[in-house]
């Protein structure tokens, strides 16, 4: 229901607005748009740098999934923690990382978040609570449960989010971790970003239940399905799960249904899905376009405001790439640094 419709029905102003418009200030809402753009343009910038040979290795882009990362992180503070995945650039930015240090990491520089040792697949920013992306499908899920065990034992108010994909829900680690988290009522939230495929293998071909969230019942926790391309829906589910977790009521499994526009990684020939399917998602369900339209409809921003955000992000990205290029590479003599903790 729009503001105009609400008024027509004589409801109190904003009564039936989607969750985030009731919960957050206009500034926070604009910042969310800013960050969604930052995620998309960061990944476009990384992709371009890769094409130009400035970044080596591979990368997994989350273009099309921005609302999912952003919505989940909206109720979080820097003290809250996340574990992330190979498709983790969005999580990292949504949690608060600086794109300049992310670019520096992708360029393999000492100024990068992992001092050039991690790259895209292990991007992390511990200072904003990101314990790291993971090259192992499902690898971060038990680690998040361990972080939540710490939070509970130290009686902190912290919650921990574990992001993972639909493919990861068939790993043993997922099941072992959910069981323990529920058993011990830990403040952890499992967020499955279901983009329909684990590499080439669709949910239908890999998973015996229709929805990943259906598996929550097996572990006595709420299983919530949201449209991962609608920021407010994701944020609302996250908000409720965070509330539960902070109250000591235990974990929640959120399934955020979304879609990745790009191939799985740089090696994908896109043989397992149709152009029509991709185009449908891109033209009819894009999370940024949908969010922008809402913001404009509710009078929170206008076209000029959106253009200003885009421009600011463009500059941030360009500056970030320049910072990365200008940064020093690690010295070979420091190859074995950080294998063990240096004791001085």
Partner 1 sequence: MDQAVRELSYAQAIQEAMAIALESDERVFLMGEDIGVYGGAFQVTGDLVERFGADRVIDTPISELGGAGVAVGAAVTGLRPIFEFQFSDFATLAMEQIVNQAAKMRYMLGGAVSVPVVMRFPAGSGTGAAAQHSQSLEAWLGHVPGLKVIQPATPYDVKGMLLAAVADPDPVMIFEHKLLYKTKGPVPEGYYTVPIGKAEIRREGRDLTIVATSIMVHKALEAAKTLEAEGIDVEVVDLRTIRPMDKETVIESVKKTSRLLCVYEGVKTLGVGAEVSAMIAESEAFDFLDAPIVRLGGAETPIPYNPELEKATVPQVPDILAAVRSLATGSR
Ligand X SMILES: Cc1ncc(C[n+]2csc(CCOP(=O)(O)OP(=O)(O)O)c2C)c(N)n1
State how far Cα 23 lies from the chain centre: 20
Residues 128-157 that bind ligand X (CB under 6 A): 135-137
For Mg ion, which is the closer residue by CB, 75 or 139?
Answer: 139
Q: How far apart are CA 146 and CA 186, in angstroms?
A: 9
Position 228 contacts ligand X (CB under 6 A): no
Task: Report the partner that residue 153 touches, choosing among Mg ion, partner 1, ligand X, none (CB closer than 5 to 8 A by kind).
Answer: partner 1
| β-bridge partners, 256 | 193, 226
For partner 1, which is the closer residue by CB, 150 or 202?
Answer: 150
Contacts of 20 (CB under 8 A, 6+ apart): 29, 32, 74, 231, 232, 235, 236
Q: How far apart are CA 281 and CA 227, in angstroms?
A: 12
Shortest Cβ 70–partner 1 spacing (Å):
23
Position 86 contacts ligand X (CB under 6 A): yes
Burial readout 147-181 (b: 16 or more C-beta within 10 A, e: otherwise): bbbebbeeeeebbbbbbbbbbbbbbebbbebbebb
For partner 1, which is the closer residue by CB, 83 or 238?
Answer: 83
Binding site for partner 1 (CB under 8 A): 81, 83, 112-118, 122, 124, 126, 131-132, 134-136, 139, 141-151, 153-154, 172-173, 175-177, 179-180, 183, 336-343
Position 255 contacts ligand X (CB under 6 A): no
Half-sphere exposure of 11 (CA within 13 A, CB side): 12
Task: Report the partner that residue 146 touches, choosing among partner 1, Mg ion, ligand X, none (CB closer than 5 to 8 A by kind).
Answer: partner 1
Q: Which residue has the tokens 């409720």?
A: 240
Q: Is 225 helix (H, G, I), strand (E, B) or coil?
A: strand
Task: Report the partner that residue 45 touches, choosing among Mg ion, ligand X, partner 1, none (CB closer than 5 to 8 A by kind).
Answer: none
CB 39 within 8 A of CB 90: yes
Binding-site member from 106, 197, 281, 323 for ligand X (CB under 6 A): 197
Position 209 contacts ligand X (CB under 6 A): no
For partner 1, which is the closer residue by CB, 138 or 196?
Answer: 138
Binding-site member from 166, 255, 292, 316 for ligand X (CB under 6 A): 166
Task: Report the partner that residue 211 touches, choosing among partner 1, Mg ion, ligand X, none (CB closer than 5 to 8 A by kind).
Answer: none
Binding-site member from 40, 87, 244, 257 for ligand X (CB under 6 A): 87
Shortest Cβ 294–partner 1 spacing (Å):
36
For ligand X, which is the closer residue by CB, 166 or 316?
Answer: 166
* DSSP code per residue over 233-286: HHHHHHHHHHHHHHTT---EEEEEE---SS-SSTT----SS-HHHHHHHHHH--
Task: Report the partner that residue 168 touches, choosing among partner 1, Mg ion, ligand X, none (CB closer than 5 to 8 A by kind).
Answer: ligand X
Number of Cβ within 10 Å of residue 38's Cβ equals 26
CB 144 within 8 A of CB 152: no
CB 90 within 8 A of CB 62: yes
Position 168 contacts ligand X (CB under 6 A): yes
Task: Report the partner that residue 271 touches, choosing among Mg ion, ligand X, partner 1, none (CB closer than 5 to 8 A by kind).
Answer: none
| Binding site residues, ligand X, CB under 6 A | 60, 86-87, 135-137, 165-168, 195, 197-199, 264
């Amino acid at each position: 229901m729009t503001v105009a419709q609400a008024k027509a029905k004589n409801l109190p102003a904003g009564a039936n607005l989607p969750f985030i418009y009731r919960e957050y200030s206009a500034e926070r809402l604009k910042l969310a748009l800013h960050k969604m753009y930052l995620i998309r343009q960061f990944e476009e910038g990384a992709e371009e740098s890769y094409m130009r040979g400035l970044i080596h290795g591979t990368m997994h882009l989350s273009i099309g999934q921005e609302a999912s990362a952003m919505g989940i992180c909206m109720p979080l503070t820097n003290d809250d923690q996340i574990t992330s995945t190979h498709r983790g650039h969005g999580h990292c930015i949504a949690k608060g990382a600086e794109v300049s240090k992310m670019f520096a990491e992708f360029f393999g520089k000492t100024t990068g978040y992992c001092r050039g040792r991690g790259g895209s697949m292990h991007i992390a920013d511990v200072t904003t609570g990101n314990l790291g992306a993971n090259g192992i499908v499902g690898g971060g899920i038990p680690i998040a449960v361990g972080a939540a065990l710490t939070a509970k034992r130290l009686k902190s108010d912290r919650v921990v989010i574990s992001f993972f994909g639909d493919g990861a829900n068939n790993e043993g680690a997922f099941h072992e971790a959910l069981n323990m988290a529920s058993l011990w009522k830990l403040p952890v939230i499992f967020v499955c970003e279901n983009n329909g495929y684990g590499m080439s293998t669709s949910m239908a071909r890999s998973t015996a239940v229709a929805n990943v969230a259906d598996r929550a019942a097996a572990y006595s926790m709420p299983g919530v399905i949201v449209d991962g391309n609608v920021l407010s829906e994701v944020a609302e589910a996250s908000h409720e799960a965070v509330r539960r977790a902070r109250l000591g009521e235990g974990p929640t499994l959120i399934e955020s249904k979304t879609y990745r526009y790009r191939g799985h990684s740089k090696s994908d020939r896109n043989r397992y899905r149709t152009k029509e399917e991709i185009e449908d998602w891109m033209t009819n369900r894009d999370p940024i376009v949908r969010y922008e339209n809402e913001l404009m409809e509710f009078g929170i921003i206008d076209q000029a405001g959106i253009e200003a955000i885009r421009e600011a992000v463009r500059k941030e990205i360009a500056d970030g790439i320049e910072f990365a290029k200008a940064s020093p590479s690690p010295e070979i003599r420091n190859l074995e640094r950080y294998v063990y903790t240096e004791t001085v």
